[in-house]
Structure 1
Amino acid sequence: MKMNRLLLCTDLDRTIIPNGYQPEHPEARTYFKQLCCLSEVTLVYVSGRNQQLVKQAIKEYALPVPDFAITDVGTKIFQLVQEKWQELGFWQEQIAADWKGKNHGQLQQALSRFPELSLQEKSKQNSFKLSYYLPLDADRGKIIQQAETLLTQMGVAASLIWSVDEPEQIGLLDVLPRHATKLHAIECLRRQLGFCHEELIFAGDSGNDLPVLTSSIRSVLVANADQQTKRQAQQLVEQNGCVDSLYQAQHNDFPLGGNYSAGVLQGVVFFIPEIGAKLKLL
């Protein structure tokens, strides 16, 4: 399809930030910046990081400044106007309904019965994001199921999102309002900006990206994603009838390889070949 405009939504860590174990092609981020400079592209960062850590990543890795940032695993949305961050308050109002008036402390108290869960630092929490560490060897399936049951009994509509901090080798569990995942935030922003479904592409690498990667949104799973995430993504798109919406980047099918931002570029070019021609990647 011919591209008139593109809402490019991408995760940060181990998607366009090369902080996983695999190598990054030395020219990958240069080409990614060229992509983001195209007048047709509106860039959105979608991250588990908070606002301060997203700012830090942009500076540390010389990333292009986005037009919008969805932070804290989908619980906050910011618009960047002349590099000033303006929070979109309507999103907080929208997701508040899911917790039915229960606050952070009440949910924390209820989940204290699970000794495997240890609370993350204060800087990684917000009013609608309750975040824990969960050891990789814990029976996470059982813990998540029991926690979901407990929250439902309290009348709370929650999403429990599991992911892995690869450098630290620790599991992360985020308790969010049910409609505050990355998927819901992206769809809300898409509608707010007036983009149609076909003008959106998402890129990610890990467990907390799976709700988007396995939806009907055209999505890219970078090649450096772990094997478990790749298997889960494939199974879920088959179950959800969305096989054609997911592109899994490959190491050998692209001049820059498929890791990190090169994988994002590979997927964007797959869905919109004319971009490859513009960037001289085809």
Structure 2
Amino acid sequence: MKVLATDLDRTLLPNGSWEPDPQAVDLFNRLTREQDTHVIYVTGRSLELTEQAIADFGIRHPHVLIGDVGTTIREHQDGGWHFDEDWTTHVRAKSPRWNVAGIKNAVAGIDGLREQPPENLNPFKQSYFVDHARNEAILKLVDEQVKGHFDESAIYSFDSQSGEGLLDFLPTSANKQTALEFVAGKLGLEKSEVVFCGDSGNDVFPLTAGFSGVLVRNADEQLVSSVKQAQAENPRLKVYFAQGNFNGLSGYYTSGVIEGACHYGVLEL
């Protein structure tokens, strides 16, 4: 089985500041279908926002959607979505102290945090906008109020489009990495048999967890630095940095996903 997992925004989706290759999305769709590739989207987007991306950018439906920063898993079969209740059971068992109300109360008085709208929240995801200019001080306060009390992890990222910081509280057992590990396990695959492509923030976890990693050419400098540091500490990590000039593709966004997938032999051009 050939498995290609990818983040969406500014990875598979050409929605950043770099100029995309106009043919890349159609090429991705055609190659993955013709070459019988099992496609997994791993994204911070909800189901509704993922469907919007599919409509807006013309990307194909995946076989599996790991959504909401890894807190939900759905399979796409026979034209419909099927929620993976096994994942919910797994997360509750692994993170028994997880408590959304407790987290909300703990950070309620921190200036510079603003709760995201309801469509960005779910029982395993409590998210905030952060004043990025003051993110270090804010995150220090968050750490003091929350850390270790709720079986939680706090994941910070920066939205270069809006200029806002993004803070997600998730159960320690539910993130992009653990969800992708769960899906790989259900498919009977070792992590190294799964290619994962990313560009920023919370992609660092699956990129440094033993999957066959790909950083698209437009990846954030902070992510590139973090991944290279992880490689220095663990030379066995497999990570490919898209460079462009590959079969006429630039290496940005979808083109970088295709380049990386070809590097590992999941796709062929």
| Deviation readout 1:97-126 (Å, 9 max, x if unpaired) | 455355322210111132121111111000
Look up the match of 2:250: 257
- Written as runs of structure 1 = structure 2, the 5 A alignment for 1:32-181 is 32-97=28-93, 99-140=95-136, 142-152=137-147, 154=149, 156-181=150-175
Bigger Cα displacement from structure 2, 211-220 vs 183-192: 211-220
Aligned-residue CA RMSD (Å): 1.8
Runs (4+) of structure 1 exceeding 6 A deviation are none
- Is the Cα–Cα contact under 8 Å of residues 205 and 225 in structure 1 kept in the other structure? yes
- Return the alpha-carbon distance in structure 1 between the equivalents of residues 100 and 212 of structure 2: 34
Return 250-259 or 11-20, whichever deviates more: 250-259
Query: Deviation per CA, 1:212-257, whole angstroms, max 9, x where unpaired?
Result: 11221101000011222212221123224444x1111113355211
Using the TM superposition, give the Cα deviation of residue 153 of structure 1 relative to its aligned residue in structure 2, in angstroms.
5.0
Amino acid at match of 1:95: V
With the length of structure 1 as denominator, give the TM-score of the two structures. Answer: 0.89
Structure 1 pair 153–220 and aligned structure 2 pair: CA distance change class (3 A): closer
> Is the CA contact (8 Å cut-off) linking 2:192 and 2:210 kept in structure 1?
no
Does the 8 Å CA contact 2:66/2:73 hold for their aligned counterparts? yes
Gap change, CA 1:116 and 1:241, over 3 Å in 2 = farther
- Structure 2's unaligned 5+ residue stretches are none
User: Residue 257 of structure 1 aligns to a residue in which SS?
Assistant: coil
- Give the TM-score of the pair, scaled to structure 2: 0.93
The whole-number CA distance in structure 1 between the counterparts of 2:223 and 2:97 is 34
How many residues get paired?
269
Question: Which shows bigger deviation, 231-240 or 262-271?
Answer: 231-240
Please tell me whether residue 211 in structure 1 is matched to residue 205 in structure 2.
Answer: yes
Residues in 1 aligned to 2:89 and 2:116: alpha-carbon distance in whole angstroms: 24
Q: Quick check: 2:98–2:171 contact (8 Å CA) kept in 1?
A: no
Q: Structure 1's 175 and 68: CA in aligned 2 closer, same or farther, altered over 3 A?
A: same
Report the Cα offset of residue 202 of structure 1. 0.3
CA–CA distance in 2 between the matches of 1:194 and 1:90? Answer: 16
Instruction: State, as a whole percentage, how many aligned pairs show the same letter.
Output: 33
Unpaired runs of at least 5, structure 1: none
Q: CA deviation at 1:139?
A: 3.4
1:248 and 2:244 aligned = no
Distance (whole Å) between structure 2 residues aligned to residue 188 and residue 52 of structure 1: 23
**Which of 12, 16, 21 is the equivalent residue of 1:16?**
12
Q: Which residue of 2 aligns with 1:271?
A: 264
